[in-house]
Structure 1
Amino acid sequence: MTVSAQTTAGRVDGVWREGSAAFLGIPYAAAPVGDLRFTAPVPPDPWTGVRDATRPGPTPQRRPFSDTPTIPEPVIPGDATLNLNVFTPAPDDPGARLPVLVWIHGGAYISGTPSSPWYDGRSFNRDGIVTVSISYRLGFDGFGWVGGDGPDSLNRGLLDQLAALEWVRDNIAGFGGDPDRVTVAGQSAGGTSVLDLLAVPRATGLFRRAIAQSPALNDIPADEVIRASGTLAGTLGIPCTPDGWRSLTPDQILDVERSGAAYGGFSMFDPPEPTDIRSVTGALRAGAAPPSTMAWAPAVDGELFPAPVTTAVADGHGADIPLLLGGNRTEFPMPSPRPRAQIVDALRAAGVGETALSRFGAELDLIGDAFADSLVASELQFGTGTIRVADARRRAGGAGTWLYDFNGRTARGNLSPHCTDIPYSFDLLDAPGVEPVLGAAPSQQLADAMHGDWVRFITDGTLDWPTVEEAGVRQARVYDAAGSHLDVDSKAVAADMTGV
């Protein structure tokens, strides 16, 4: 059965599905092609009649992250890639005024799509929450420098996210949502985007709560993106101008944008080198940013994105926004080139205390010594940034910051890898692609605990464990197969590595 709702550009038809409606592929901006390629998003042209919104829209993702991605994220061809999906139990009911979740997908800013079955809003709808999943331009198209100093020469993907949030503000009431009760949330690059939006003045008033799952604190200086883009233009034999970039097909850019050799940098797809734990930890304790391997991501440009997240947060930006923040216990488990004892000795020499080392050792006892290096890398890429942001918010004061630690284990390897938290926070254990990742019997008790807390936070903006402002940055709510519990030293390793 189809159902309709009104947008500022025209009416749309969605589909009713056992208790809620899905409106798919609604354009929030015009197709970024032709003269609009490499420009800021502009509103879509209005349409007459009723637009079909029963099928997913085209995706900015043209190539998946890998041949075997964890999350099923389809590539859908077409030009109108700046679109979003709305899942609602109250279509065309402006009086419902339900809380709203806006979801920003991950994918390292080079891949991902809002139309994964893992991002379906049906369970949140069941609990009275309208859910919106958004697309945004990826890779060089979204985040490379195209030359000049215009407001869209950088950060077009971030501008897309803002345009989608503005669409929600202007339209969500027609889908039963309350524009004054919006929570913005995301995982991985989406979680990082959430933190970035806390530091972007233009985002003020577009959301009232924030959830960042497994964010990496990038804070890439604009000069680095400009340098990499100029080098890439030289590799491709074009002038670094909008017309120069428009002379290339998307595939010509996609063929090289993931290769660090093409832009004179280090790519996340290059083989990793073992971390010099003592020097990196010393730099972190002295205030350096966590290491990053991304070139195409939101850049601190002094205008749209004026200052690094921790600087902005410490100055009080976003202090009125309650924040739920955390990550997975073993984000990227990969075999270790060095023995456990060597890693532990290096951490101890770097100033990591015995409580934290005990926690580090207990995790290796569960997952195996082969993952010692990758456990350090996970803390550096994700844990230390989380601690930095949480501590900056603690010092600034404000609406409250809650930390969590996802410790759900996969059936194979007893691990808690990147992305495996999503079916639990969304309570979608029956979604396509979940069983191969989580096994045949994922814990419904864990899903009930995690999803229940997400629902409570989105609805009320509060949770039932101490905030960072009340109890510091070492404690967190831990989600595991038995449900959840408070652990006073859950974040000890990352806290010691950052010297907080």
Structure 2
Amino acid sequence: MTVVTTGHGRLSGTEEDGITVFRGIPYAAAPVGPLRFRPPEPPAAWDGVLDATAFGPTAPKTPYPAPLDELLPDPDVPGDACLNLNVWTPDPGGGPLPVMVWIHGGSLRNGSSAVPTYDGRAFARDGVVLVSVNYRLGIEGFGVFPDAPANLGLRDQIAALGWVRDNIRAFGGDPGNVTVFGESAGAISIAALLTSPHAKGLFRRAVLQSGAPAAVAPDTARPTTTAIAERLGVAATAEALARVGRAELLAAQTAVTHGGNPLTGTTGFHLVVDGDVLPRDPAAALADGAADGIDLLMGSTTDEYRLWFVPSGLVDRINAVALRLVLLKQRAPWRAARVYRAARPGASPGEVLGAIATDKLLRIPLNRLADARAGRPGRTFLYEFAWPSPVLGLGACHALELGFVFDTLDSADTRALTGPDAPRELARAMHAAWVAFAAAGDPGWAPWSTERPVMTFGAADGSAVVRAPRERERRLWE
């Protein structure tokens, strides 16, 4: 047993394969009672030694809908004190070591730090103090109310980063060398944190995996909250919804947000421009230099869309007429279908639509952000993950890179996406790049420039830097 002292009390962790792990550390008070639908408050100090050997409660949520529930395991740990985090460290008494803080994805309504793929031992093995965070999800984290602040889940993330600043030295970490990284909704959150005055100075570098800057006006996000309240027969206020039991609230949330996906659209939750945590649209703020001086590593997978289009059968239900109608509705460039199909001989209309949607929502916004940062303080590095999974024809789908970044290919949960024979050398290379970026701001390839270098991990002919990949398609969106 290893004991450390934090600002709120002492903690006992456990030794695992030469790594010291502390789980379920409270960074804020349980968001229940008068604290429900309110900004996070510091946790109460405790006497004695707090047992930090098991994952803490996860935020209230329901499982992913079928068939994604088989591909994206989502552990549920009961309890109210869901504002907790975990720390993996090679030596609590050593350091100071670089720190990486993981913010999970899940469409702002799923996910947690207890997902086995996110085990931090490989990072600690390689000299990084790894922190993973839980934050409020769904309507409790991202509802929009007239009587409560917006972006509560984002405020939770900021509170966790504040805890890291104040306490990570006790775990051997360097509070002046913190990299925040996340995937999907976690990356979207980080893009917002890069622009938030509340997060200023809390991290030095950032990694955006398969998530681009995005936020909407409160009136755009409010209908999800209103629909949930109407289903419950209560007012769409924090006061009224706080009187609803969590199980009932989750059932209504699931009914309202069921169906659709991040690429085709659905009723869901969003970060909002609230004039406080998010004073401006993050994409515009970043283009204007809001993150100047912060190094960025960002990218996507080649076939993001296949996670949603293939297991559901959607890829086969889209015909040429449906493709044309969707592109008209989404105001895609008129030549898009022809240009994308030319680069993908034999692709079905659903596959063409998926490639276009992947670019529109991820690759193009990230390229634009990289272009806007060119020549400004802070370097930018882009990557693409191209290794195709053999599972269900998923290809290089959304979330596939996670087991490679964390070097957790042996986890059964990781193998649900990768299959049993994923290339370990690719995991070692990708994981090492993330470690190098966190340590010194250089993942091992050239920063963004007019040559548009993109490190492509796991391509058919091996990992290599590709200059201006699929440039004809990108230029459609200029």
Q: TM-score, normalised by structure 1?
A: 0.86
SS state at 1:471 partner:
coil
Q: What SS is found at the alignment partner of 1:255?
A: helix
Q: CA deviation at 1:440?
A: 1.9
> How far has the Cα of 1:340 moved from its partner?
11
Residue by residue over 1:306-347, the C-alpha shift from the partner in whole angstroms, topping out at 9 and shown as x without a partner, is 111121112211111100010111112221412499779989
- 1:272 to partner: Cα distance: 9.5
Question: In structure 1, what is the equivalent of residue 140 of structure 2?
Answer: 141
In structure 2, the residue corresponding to 1:41 is in which secondary structure?
coil
* 1:277-292 pair list within 5 angstroms: none
Pair 1:419-2:396 in alignment = no
User: Structure 2 CA distance, aligned partners of 1:296 and 1:440?
Assistant: 34
For 2:297 and 2:150, the matched residues in 1 are separated by 28
User: What amino acid maps onto 2:455 in structure 1?
Assistant: R
Match of 2:234 in 1: 238
The aligned runs of 1:224-373 (5 Å cut-off) are 224-260=220-256, 267=257, 269-270=259-260, 293=266, 295-333=268-306, 334=309, 335-336=315-316, 337-339=318-320, 350-352=334-336, 357=339, 361-363=342-344, 370-373=350-353
Partner of 1:378: 358
Q: Deviations over 1:43-75 (max 9, x none)?
A: 111111110011110000431222424333210
Pairing of 1:101-112 with structure 2 (within 5 A): 101-112=100-111
1:373–1:432 CA distance, 2 compared to 1 (3 A): same
Written as runs of structure 1 = structure 2, the 5 A alignment for 1:422-461 is 422-461=402-441
Match of 1:399 in 2: 378
Give aligned pairs, total: 463
8 Å contact from structure 2 (residues 70, 416) kept in 1: no
Provide the residue aligned with 1:77 in structure 2. 78
The structure-2 alpha-carbon separation of the partners of 1:122 and 1:491, relative to structure 1 and needing over 3 Å to count, comes to farther
Counterpart contact for 2:31–2:80, Cα < 8 Å: yes
Counterpart of 1:202 in structure 2 is: 198
**Partner of residue 88, structure 1:** 89
Q: What value does the CA root-mean-square deviation take over the aligned residues?
A: 2.7
The Cα of 1:224 is off from its aligned counterpart by 1.5
Aligned mates of 1:45, 1:430 — CA distance in 2: 38
Contact 1:449/1:483 (CA < 8 Å) preserved in 2?
no
Q: Contact (CA 8 Å) 2:336, 2:356: kept in 1 or not?
A: no
- State the SS of the aligned residue for 2:463: strand
**Residue 14 of structure 2 aligns to a residue in which SS?**
strand
Distance in 2, Cα, partners of 1:24 & 1:78 = 14
What CA distance in whole angstroms lies between the structure 2 residues aligned with 1:103 and 1:6? 22
SS at match of 2:95: coil
Alignment-mate amino acid for residue 95 of structure 2: A
TM-score (norm 2): 0.90
Residue 26 of structure 1 deviates from its aligned partner by 0.4
2:44 counterpart residue number? 45
8 Å CA contact 2:135–2:141 kept in 1: the answer is yes
* Change in CA separation of 1:6 and 1:33 when aligned onto 2, cut-off 3 Å: same
Q: Is the 8 A contact 2:61 2:137 kept in 1?
A: no
AA matched with 1:257: Q
Contact 1:364 1:372 in 2 (8 A): no
Partner of 1:282: none
Q: Deviations over 1:260-281 (max 9, x none)?
A: 5xxxxxx5724899x8xxxxxx
Gaps of 5+ in 1: 261-266, 276-291
Q: Report the equivalent of 1:173.
A: 169
Alpha-carbon spacing, 1:361–1:88, altered in 2? closer, same or farther (3 Å) = farther
Q: 2:13 matched to which residue of 1?
A: 14
1:386 positional shift:
1.8
When residues 353 and 324 of structure 1 are mapped into structure 2, their CA distance, relative to the original with a 3 A threshold, is farther
CA positional deviation for 1:239: 2.3
Structure 1 contact 310–388 (Cα < 8 Å) conserved: no
User: How many Å apart are 1:216 and its aligned residue?
Assistant: 4.0
* CA displacement at 1:21 relative to structure 2: 1.0
Local SS of the residue matching 1:234: helix
Q: Secondary structure at the match of 1:46?
A: coil
Aligned residues of 1:24 and 1:85 also touching (Cα < 8 A): yes
Change (3 A) 1:384 1:122: same
Letter in 1 for 2:216: I
1:403–1:475 contact (8 Å) kept in structure 2: yes
Q: Which amino acid aligns with 2:334?
A: A
- Partner SS state of residue 442, structure 2: coil
Secondary structure, aligned partner of 1:455: helix
The alignment status of 1:159 with 2:141, answered yes or no, reads no
Q: What's the offset of the Cα at 1:476?
A: 1.1
CA distance in 1 between counterparts of 2:418 and 2:228 reads 39
**2:80 match: secondary structure:** coil
Q: Which runs of 5+ in 2 are unaligned?
A: 310-314
CA contact (8 A) 1:379 1:493 kept: no
Q: Which amino acid aligns with 1:226?
A: R
The alignment-based identity, stated in percent, is 37
2:145–2:237 CA contact under 8 A, matched in 1: yes
Amino acid at match of 1:154: A
Instruction: Describe the shift of the 1:417–1:349 C-alpha distance in structure 2 as closer, same or farther (beyond 3 A).
Output: closer
Letter in 2 for 1:444: R
CA distance in 2 between partners of 1:173 and 1:201 (Å): 24
AA in 1 matched with 2:81: A
Deviation sequence 1:133-171 (CA, Å, 0-9, x none) = 0000000000102323xxx52110000000000000001
1:188 is aligned to 184
